[in-house]
Structure 1
């Protein structure tokens, strides 16, 4: 009976360790951050959307309202997507830099691909370091 209890405790500890490691996966963490920023844009929540920007972006746009206006003007598919889904992701240098491909259907019916560059900060958190959007001209539709 004691052996069974010891094996049970070891298995439970292992599962907890695996769950913790999975929860801290940089791909999952940064994907959730992108989704949170998109939701902030959809809700016109300037403070929340700006909070995900990396220090380099904040240096270019020190005023959160100017940042928000820039996103509205130049990144409309990201600002108010019709639908979106994550494509490929890549972790560079053991999670120091993460790239996410986000496939977006704009509200105007056009398809876009957004490539997010996420940088790990000195404190271990992640921030969005830039987004490059391109029209998806190869979409075949459904």
Structure 2
């Protein structure tokens, strides 16, 4: 009986920890996905709303931000598929790795730096284009 109770308590604790760990990742993925959907419909104002205050300050307005993404990150602006990989903490910052297949089928690996606002929502604080993944036949 004691083993059963300990197993049940341990199982419940692990499930709770798993949910707690997956919570931010789901919210972060949703933020990134919402921004990509806004770009797909050329709604630069909405896409801009998912950027952190620092990013917004760098570009000044949604149209300049949208043009930068169109030119510098066309795989984000128009993508075919998106796959969310690991969420990592590096030097106290959260980074979400994302693999994107662009409209012509090319694969791109990006790292999204995420910050949480005082209200608890997540914003994109930067994006890095990582070296392309090695894909073998």
Task: Verify same fold: TM over 0.5.
Answer: yes
SS of corresponding position for 1:124: coil
Contact 1:104/1:113 (8 A) holds in 2? yes
Match of 1:132 in 2: 128
Contact 2:109/2:133 (8 A) holds in 1? no
Match of 1:69 in 2: 67
Match of 2:27 in 1: 29
Match of 1:114 in 2: 110
Query: In 2, distance between residues paired with 1:84 and 1:61?
Result: 25
| Greater Rg by CA | 1
Contact 1:77/1:107 (8 A) holds in 2? yes
Shift of 1:134: 3.0
Compared with structure 1, are the counterparts of its residues 137 and 123 closer, same or farther at alpha carbon in structure 2 (3 Å cutoff)? Answer: closer
Contact 1:97/1:120 (8 A) holds in 2? no
Compared with structure 1, are the counterparts of its residues 92 and 117 closer, same or farther at alpha carbon in structure 2 (3 Å cutoff)? Answer: same
Q: Which consecutive aligned stretches of 4+ in structure 1 deviate over 6 angstroms post-superposition? A: none
Shift of 1:58: 0.6
Match of 1:80 in 2: 78
Query: In 1, distance between residues paired with 2:122 and 2:25?
Result: 10
Output one character per residue of 1:56-86: Cα deviation in whole Å (capped at 9) or x when no partner.
0011011110000000000011111111111
Q: Does 1:103 align with 2:76?
A: no
Query: In 2, distance between residues paired with 1:80 and 1:104?
Result: 10
